Structure 1
């Protein structure tokens, strides 16, 4: 009995898929005492975290490109790829929310984390040689990005400044 648990714990490190199949078999047989509960519970918890992490990644893309649109767009014909990125990330995010409705609340709680990621992406984007001209807008220095997320969760989901704005 104890040998099976030990070998399952070892199997977890060596062959995850086989570990999963063996635990599933034990659960189906009702052999609950032999299940590698410690690792199984950790994996279940990680499953939920992965979905939230995906949503945070989508929100970071949305925030980054909304911010670019509002702060770095210097001509009317600029920024179309940012719109595409926002809309694509929103579709993916809405798919997650539709499939897992409770993730919406978790997304609202993780908005600041997404903004922090977006800021890092913005800094990376601005310091690439091809984009250094944007720094001229700020006197050649990196701008100060807001510490707090400048957008609400509702804006992440719905805000389309390109629909409201007209150039010159």
Structure 2
């Protein structure tokens, strides 16, 4: 591999990906930028995990808003319901693209729920009346809103 290809990763990422695709297609092992390619592949997996976690946090937040934030509920409940459905859709899309992340979600949803409720509590936006984690199957059920 030439230093020119390796340097391209930092100078023009899109061109670097095009060059890597050509090298893979041609099975040109000498041109491959293995170190950066490995970093990018690992980052893609980490990025999906971050997105899944973020959407789950937002889902918990909105379910709890709908359930516990009585002062704002009347005015915002329709918007919160739409957001809940959108977050569920994003989570489902991620899980359809990467079914192996279902296990990751199952293993982490209680901890994420607790972090989300802790964040709400620290913000003092509203009082979460029941800190018991909502089961994952309910959180992902389009008919459940709290």
Scaled by the length of structure 2, the TM-score of the pair is 0.78
Q: Deviations over 1:60-102 (max 9, x none)?
A: 1110112222222248735232222111111121122223222
Q: Deviations over 1:30-73 (max 9, x none)?
A: 21133111110111111122222222111111101122222222
The match for 1:103 is 101
**Pair 1:152-2:127 in alignment:** no
Instruction: Give 1:117-128 correspondences, 5 Å limit.
Output: 117=116, 119-120=118-119, 123-124=122-123, 126=125
The match for 1:165 is none
The match for 2:43 is 46
* CA 1:119–1:80: 2 relative to 1, 3 Å: farther
* CA 1:75–1:113: 2 relative to 1, 3 Å: closer
Q: Do the aligned residues in 1 keep the contact of 2:49 with 2:101 (CA within 8 Å)?
A: yes
Q: Deviations over 1:92-150 (max 9, x none)?
A: 21122223222211222332246425643564471xxxxxxx5xxx6xxxx7995xx72
Instruction: Give 1:68-79 correspondences, 5 Å limit.
Output: 68-74=65-71, 77-78=74-75, 79=77
DSSP 3-state at the match of 1:33: coil
Number of matched pairs: 143
* CA 1:65–1:87: 2 relative to 1, 3 Å: same
Larger Rg: 1
Q: In angstroms, what is the RMSD of aligned CA positions?
A: 2.9
* CA 1:157–1:56: 2 relative to 1, 3 Å: same
* CA 1:55–1:125: 2 relative to 1, 3 Å: farther
Scaled by the length of structure 1, the TM-score of the pair is 0.70
Q: Do the aligned residues in 2 keep the contact of 1:64 with 1:118 (CA within 8 Å)?
A: yes
The match for 2:28 is 31
- Separation (CA, whole Å) in 2 of partners of 1:83 and 1:157: 13
The match for 2:115 is 116
